[in-house]
């Protein structure tokens, strides 16, 4: 229950709206309870042959007035209470998203995206239900329930006691069934999501399916998952199918008791026929509060459990944070210095980087080469502090990067990741990610630097072309060049490139490398590349092996002294020469 403090502020903000909502709900309940009293008067008048046209019209007018009040106030309580639960949902979701976003890369390594999505959808939906329908059900269970019992006791206490005997059955079965219905409903939703995903994937991968003759296999997979979805649905239907008739059975059990005992009392004239009819009406009104009583405990328990899970995430601190006394200034003016840096993704495993020491002076270019898995990407990721060193120091402009203002540090770095990631939207928007204020001309200039301008011009809507699932599908090389344009448009002092020409042809690669070379002296560039010709002109080249620096030197020095480098370079040179033929 402690976690309920998370939603307190949203309630306090709308405390008057919530109070008005609960008041409307209570008035609706009271008015509902008066309808049987009007019926009683009408029946008593009729059975005593006192009813006149005027009196019947008067009763009808009362009923209509009550119905009108119920109609209007129901609208308002729904708006106020369900509306508030939607606000709680919105506030909580935004807060959770804001927090998850500041968590460090290592958190995302350990947490599955699916689990995070479940918190943002299912858990928040549970909280919404607890704060919306939870309040409604609790108010009705307590207020409508006790008031109805009060009115029934007013008619006859003994009859009320007998009539209420089956009522706990309603509450207990509502609790039992609503729990099972909820679980089944979740399973059904899960099965539906899985089915949609499988179908989506089969359409997206249709070319592979066709070329590997996997249509039959694909059909079977979809049929299997569709069968599971139907099975889950039928299981839900079995529960809902049993629940409602069972509730009716218990209500009718009460009715039977009332007919036997109430009928006797009516014959003995202890209660009037009007009381008898009113009593039956109260009995029907009691069904909902009893169901609500069973339901509300589940709603609140589920809401509390979900809030606890959300709280755990909100309490998770970001490992990489803004320092307490950040150093401000232009970090990237100075040299980047690694001193005895080691890093391990998992404390129990061998370090991925160890004893890394080098310095890149401002305006210089550092090339990094090495077999896959040797730690090149990890090394690059440490400069914008996606991961922090386990041991050693990284300094920029003489200051430990953990002391620099984090935003300033990241602002001064442009990073092109190995796998270019595009957000859904237009090409222009994707490039502008690097500099939201850039106009179209600047965007095109950046695209030109990345040799991407011809591709943009060839597209039907140019920069306004939508990319991704709903638009054009860009090739790997085009995505890579777009990611480069995104980095170029930032014009930051440090450029980190993780294998930027791996997916483009030789000529384009050469053009891109020429552009990067033009930046020499203006930007500090650290470039990882498997294509060694791209590194040839770097001021220093670092050869990595199993997380360590094997050797560091210029192209000429490495050609003379490092086997791996010289062999790979010659091999690639021959391939490039063949390609030129």
List residues binding ligand ADP (CB under 6 A).
109, 345, 352, 370, 372-378
Task: Determine the Cα–Cα distance for residues 251 and 464; give it in Å rounded to an integer.
Answer: 63
| Torsion of Cα atoms, 442 then 447 then 453 then 457, to 10° | -60
Smallest gap from Cβ 503 to ligand ADP, in A, equals 15
Complete edge-to-edge strand list for the sheet that includes strand 391-396: 353-360, 336-343, 391-396, 399-400
* Residue nearer to ligand ADP on the CB measure, 101 or 269: 101
Smallest gap from Cβ 352 to ligand ADP, in A, equals 4
Smallest gap from Cβ 545 to ligand ADP, in A, equals 10
Smallest gap from Cβ 494 to ligand ADP, in A, equals 18
Task: Determine the Cα–Cα distance for residues 233 and 185; give it in Å rounded to an integer.
Answer: 8
Smallest gap from Cβ 105 to ligand ADP, in A, equals 7
Task: Determine the Cα–Cα distance for residues 148 and 284; give it in Å rounded to an integer.
Answer: 10
* Residue nearer to ligand ADP on the CB measure, 218 or 529: 529
* Residue nearer to ligand ADP on the CB measure, 352 or 396: 352
- Distance from CA of residue 59 to its chain's centroid? 54
Smallest gap from Cβ 539 to ligand ADP, in A, equals 21
Smallest gap from Cβ 390 to ligand ADP, in A, equals 13
Phi, psi of 317 (to 5 degrees): -80, 155
* Residue nearer to ligand ADP on the CB measure, 378 or 480: 378
Read off the DSSP letter of residue 420: -
Tell me whether strands 353-360 and 494-498 are parallel, antiparallel or unpaired: unpaired
Smallest gap from Cβ 356 to ligand ADP, in A, equals 12
* Residue nearer to ligand ADP on the CB measure, 390 or 466: 390
Task: Determine the Cα–Cα distance for residues 318 and 321; give it in Å rounded to an integer.
Answer: 6
What is 53-98 written as a DSSP string? Answer: HHHHHHHHHHHHHHHHHHHHHHHHHIIIIIHHHHHHHHHHHHHHHH
Task: Determine the Cα–Cα distance for residues 497 and 415; give it in Å rounded to an integer.
Answer: 6
User: Do 191 and 232 meet the contact criterion of CB atoms below 8 Å apart?
Assistant: yes
Smallest gap from Cβ 460 to ligand ADP, in A, equals 36
Smallest gap from Cβ 350 to ligand ADP, in A, equals 9
* Residue nearer to ligand ADP on the CB measure, 109 or 440: 109
**Structure tokens that stand for 464 in this block:** 């306004």
* Residue nearer to ligand ADP on the CB measure, 11 or 345: 345
Smallest gap from Cβ 527 to ligand ADP, in A, equals 13
Smallest gap from Cβ 497 to ligand ADP, in A, equals 12
* Residue nearer to ligand ADP on the CB measure, 209 or 352: 352
Selection from 534, 463, 452 nearest residue 500 by Cα: 534
* Residue nearer to ligand ADP on the CB measure, 110 or 213: 110
Task: Determine the Cα–Cα distance for residues 141 and 74; give it in Å rounded to an integer.
Answer: 16
Smallest gap from Cβ 320 to ligand ADP, in A, equals 14
Phi, psi of 512 (to 5 degrees): -65, -45
* Residue nearer to ligand ADP on the CB measure, 135 or 417: 417
Tell me whether strands 540-545 and 365-369 are parallel, antiparallel or unpaired: parallel
The CB-side HSE value for 375 (13 A sphere, CA atoms) comes to: 24
User: Do 55 and 45 meet the contact criterion of CB atoms below 8 Å apart?
Assistant: yes
What is 6-65 written as a DSSP string? Answer: HHHHHHHHTHHHHHHHHHHHHHHHHHHHHHHHHHHHHHHHHHTT---HHHHHHHHHHHHH
Task: Determine the Cα–Cα distance for residues 577 and 581; give it in Å rounded to an integer.
Answer: 7
**Who's near 301: CB < 8 A, 6+ residues apart?**
none
* Residue nearer to ligand ADP on the CB measure, 132 or 351: 351
The CB-side HSE value for 203 (13 A sphere, CA atoms) comes to: 6
* Residue nearer to ligand ADP on the CB measure, 394 or 446: 394
Neighbours of 340 (CB within 10 A): 12
* Residue nearer to ligand ADP on the CB measure, 338 or 452: 338
Tell me whether strands 399-400 and 391-396 are parallel, antiparallel or unpaired: antiparallel
Residue written as token pair 């220093």 = 540
């Amino acid at each position: 229950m402690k976690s309920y403090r998370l939603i307190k502020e949203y309630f306090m903000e709308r405390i008057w709206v919530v109070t008005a909502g609960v008041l409307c709900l209570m008035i609706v309940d009271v008015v509902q309870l008066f309808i049987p009293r009007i019926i009683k008067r009408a029946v008593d008048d009729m059975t005593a042959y006192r009813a006149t046209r005027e009196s019947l019209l008067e009763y009808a007018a009362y009923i209509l007035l009550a119905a009108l009040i119920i109609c209007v106030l129901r609208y308002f309580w729904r708006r106020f209470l369900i509306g508030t639960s939607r606000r709680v949902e919105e506030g909580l979701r935004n807060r959770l998203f804001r927090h998850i976003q500041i968590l460090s890369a290592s958190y995302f390594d350990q947490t599955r995206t699916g689990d995070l999505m479940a918190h943002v959808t299912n858990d928040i939906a549970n909280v919404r239900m607890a704060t919306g329908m939870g309040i409604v059900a609790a108010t009705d269970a307590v207020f409508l329930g006790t008031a109805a019992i009060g009115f029934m006791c007013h008619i006859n206490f003994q009859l009320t006691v007998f009539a209420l005997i089956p009522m706990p059955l309603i509450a207990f079965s509502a609790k039992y069934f609503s729990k099972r219905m909820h679980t089944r409903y979740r399973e059904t939703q899960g099965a539906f999501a899985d089915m949609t995903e499988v179908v989506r994937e089969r359409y997206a991968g249709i070319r592979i399916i066709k070329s590997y003759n996997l249509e039959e296999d694909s059909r079977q997979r979809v049929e299997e998952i569709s069968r599971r979805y139907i099975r889950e649905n039928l299981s839900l239907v079995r529960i809902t199918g049993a629940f409602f008739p069972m509730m009716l059975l218990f209500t009718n059990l009460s009715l039977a008791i009332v007919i036997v005992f109430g009928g006797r009392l009516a014959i003995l004239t202890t209660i009037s026929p009007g009381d008898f009819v009113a009593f039956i009406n109260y009995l029907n009104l009691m069904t909902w509060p009893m169901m609500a009583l069973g339901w509300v405990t589940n709603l609140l328990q589920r809401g509390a459990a979900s809030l606890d899970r959300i709280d755990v995430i909100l309490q998770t601190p970001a490992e990489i944070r803004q320092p307490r006394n950040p150093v401000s200034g232009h970090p990237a003016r100075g040299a980047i210095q690694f001193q005895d840096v080691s890093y391990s993704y998992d404390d129990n495993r061998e370090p991925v980087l160890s004893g890394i020491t080098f310095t890149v002076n401002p305006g210089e270019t550092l090339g990094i080469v090495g077999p896959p898995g040797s730690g090149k990407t990890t090394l690059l990721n440490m400069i914008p502090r996606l991961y922090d060193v386990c041991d050693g120091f990284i300094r920029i402009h003489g200051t430990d990067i953990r002391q620099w203002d984090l935003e300033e540090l990241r602002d001064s770095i442009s990073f092109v990741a190995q796998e270019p990631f595009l957000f859904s939207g237009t090409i222009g928007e994707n490039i502008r990610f690097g500099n939201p204020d850039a106009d179209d001309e600047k965007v095109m200039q950046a695209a030109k630097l990345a040799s991407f301008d011809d591709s943009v011009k060839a597209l039907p809507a140019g920069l306004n072309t939508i990319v991704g699932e709903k638009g054009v599908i860009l090739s790997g090389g085009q995505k890579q060049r777009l990611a480069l344009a995104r980095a170029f448009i930032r014009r930051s002092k440090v450029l980190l490139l993780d294998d930027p020409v791996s997916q483009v042809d030789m000529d384009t690669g050469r053009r891109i490398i020429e552009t990067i070379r033009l930046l020499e002296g203006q930007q500090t560039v650290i470039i990882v590349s498997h294509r060694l010709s791209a590194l040839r002109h770097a001021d220093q080249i670092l050869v990595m092996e199993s997380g360590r620096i094997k050797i560091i030197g210029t192209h000429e020095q490495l050609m003379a002294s490092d086997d791996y480098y010289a062999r790979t370079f010659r091999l690639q040179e021959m391939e490039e020469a063949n390609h030129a033929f």
